[in-house]
């Protein structure tokens, strides 16, 4: 098969022909029909993820067709259209048994713990626990765009912050994660204030439902601006970028008893950011993480797609080819353009 491979961290990945994968006894091989590009792939390529063993094939936001099935898989057959969450649970550890596959102790992450989906085929383990069937109405590119940013935002807004209608939700950073969070929080009946450095992204945020925006480049005091818009502070605030300053602002702009959810990754030099812990105790703030979403929770998400309440296809930027992927991957830290780039030609 053709695959995008890097031999060293930070060195130009290349499209090469490698051996086709075969399924683990509890896994499947999926013929990849679409796979999204994500800043996590860039982090992986830079060497920020300890799980990656070289040489490596990135890619974790995928959708496709089951092409081979391991002998202990009972729920899936060749030809099924499927996607997977980017964190797959093993299905039998303590966390999986408690329904929390997204923090599984033996988690399988395509593109991190194993070769990923920037390839014609990808092997995915623990298939019975993690595969999600696609409704016929859902195209592969949209399905691929769900796997990481959209489901992580869904879990952040719906399952972690438990956003209620009428609450103010601040979303810091309007990349793929932030735009997903804006769309989902709006669908839940919240009022969203979006924060970003570029007017173009803020305009798109308003199109997706944000009722107010703050331009962090033009505003000296982002925290004060959010507190003013929300009349005293946001009930819920999301750091959708993953940067020490957005993380700090997201916690500091909460009202009393507010909830912060960290969705943007904090890696490398940013792993341990300073936060206003004085406010956390004095105002009884709550701090959450969001790390993917269990496959069984896709049901709620799929229902909101089918009824048109959520329209993740609006977040798709460019469709590109596998040959375009190395250059696009290396450019992922520059935050250019709007929406998610998806590889749809292999
Ligand atoms: Zn597990
Ligand atoms: Zn991702």
Around Cβ 296, how many Cβ atoms within 10 Å?
14
Residue entry with tokens 């729920």:
75
197 Cα: distance to centroid of ligand 1 (angstroms):
39
CA of 314 to the centre of ligand 1 (A): 33
- Residue 106 CA, ligand 1 centroid: distance in Å: 5
CA of 25 to the centre of ligand 1 (A): 17
Ligand 2 midpoint to CA 49 (Å): 13
Residues of the chain with pLDDT under 70: 335-337
For ligand 2, the distance from its centroid to the CA atom of residue 37, given in whole angstroms, is: 7
pLDDT of residue 268: 84
Q: Are 170 and 216 in contact (CB under 8 A)?
A: no
240-277 burial, b if ≥16 CB within 10 A, otherwise e?
A: bbbbbebbbbbbbbbbeebbbbbbbbbbeeeeebebbe
In angstroms, what is the span from residue 115 Cα to ligand 2's centroid? 14
Per the structure block, which two tokens stand in for 133?
């069937």
Contact 233, 250 (CB under 8 A): no
Q: Measured between alpha carbons, how far is 161 from 167 in angstroms, rounded to an integer? A: 11
pLDDT at 339: 78
Going from the Cα of 228 to the center of ligand 2, the distance in angstroms, rounded, reads 33
258 Cα to the center of ligand 1, angstroms: 31
Ligand 1: distance of its center to the CA of 60 in Å? Answer: 18
The environment of the single-atom ion ligand 1, i.e. residues with CB closer than 5 A, is: 89-90, 93, 96, 104
Question: Measuring CA to CA, how many Å separate 261 from each of 133, 286, 341?
Answer: 28, 8, 25
pLDDT confidence of residue 211: 98
pTM: 0.94
Q: Which of these, 210, 216, 206, lies nearest to 246 by C-alpha position?
A: 216
The ligand that comes nearest to the alpha carbon of residue 342 is: 2
- State residue 39's pLDDT score: 86
If you measure from the C-alpha of residue 259 to the centroid of ligand 2, how many angstroms do you get, rounded to a whole number?
23
Helix (H, G, I), strand (E, B) or coil at 239: strand
Residue 154 token pair: 């869904």
Ligand closest to CA 263: 2
Q: Using the mean position of ligand 1's atoms as its centre, give its distance from the Cα of residue 342 in Å.
A: 29
Helices (H), 37-173: 39-46, 94-97, 127-130, 140-145, 151-154
The per-residue pLDDT for 335 is: 65
């Amino acid at each position: 098969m053709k695959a995008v491979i890097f031999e060293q961290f930070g060195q130009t990945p290349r499209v090469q022909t490698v051996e086709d994968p075969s399924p683990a006894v509890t896994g499947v091989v999926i013929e990849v029909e679409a796979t999204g590009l994500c800043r996590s792939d860039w982090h992986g390529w830079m060497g920020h993820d300890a799980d990656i063993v070289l040489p490596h094939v990135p890619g974790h936001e995928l959708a496709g067709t089951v092409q081979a099935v391991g002998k202990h898989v009972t729920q899936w057959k060749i030809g099924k259209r499927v996607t997977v969450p980017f964190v797959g649970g093993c299905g039998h550890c303590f966390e999986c048994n408690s329904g929390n596959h997204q923090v599984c102790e033996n988690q399988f992450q395509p593109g991190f713990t194993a070769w990923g989906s920037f390839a014609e085929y990808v092997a995915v383990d623990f298939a019975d626990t993690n595969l999600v069937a696609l409704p016929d109405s859902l195209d592969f590119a949209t399905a691929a765009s769900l796997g990481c940013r959209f489901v992580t935002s869904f879990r952040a807004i719906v399952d972690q912050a438990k956003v209620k209608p009428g609450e103010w939700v601040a979303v810091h950073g309007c990349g793929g994660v932030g735009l997903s969070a804006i769309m989902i929080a709006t669908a839940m009946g919240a009022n969203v204030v979006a924060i970003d450095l570029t007017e173009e992204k803020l305009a798109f945020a308003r199109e997706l439902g944000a009722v107010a925006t703050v331009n962090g480049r033009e505003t000296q005091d982002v925290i004060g601006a959010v507190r003013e818009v929300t009349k005293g502070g946001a009930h819920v605030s999301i750091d959708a970028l993953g940067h020490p300053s957005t993380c700090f602002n997201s916690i500091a702009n909460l009202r009393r008893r507010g909830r912060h959810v960290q969705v943007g990754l904090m890696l490398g030099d940013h792993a341990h950011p300073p936060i206003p812990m004085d406010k956390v105790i004095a105002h009884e703030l709550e701090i959450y993480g969001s790390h993917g979403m269990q496959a069984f929770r896709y049901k709620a998400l799929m229902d909101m797609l089918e009824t048109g309440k959520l329209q993740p296809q609006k977040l798709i930027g460019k469709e590109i080819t596998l040959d375009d992927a190395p250059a696009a991957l290396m450019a992922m830290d520059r935050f250019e353009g709007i929406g998610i780039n998806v590889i749809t030609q292999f």
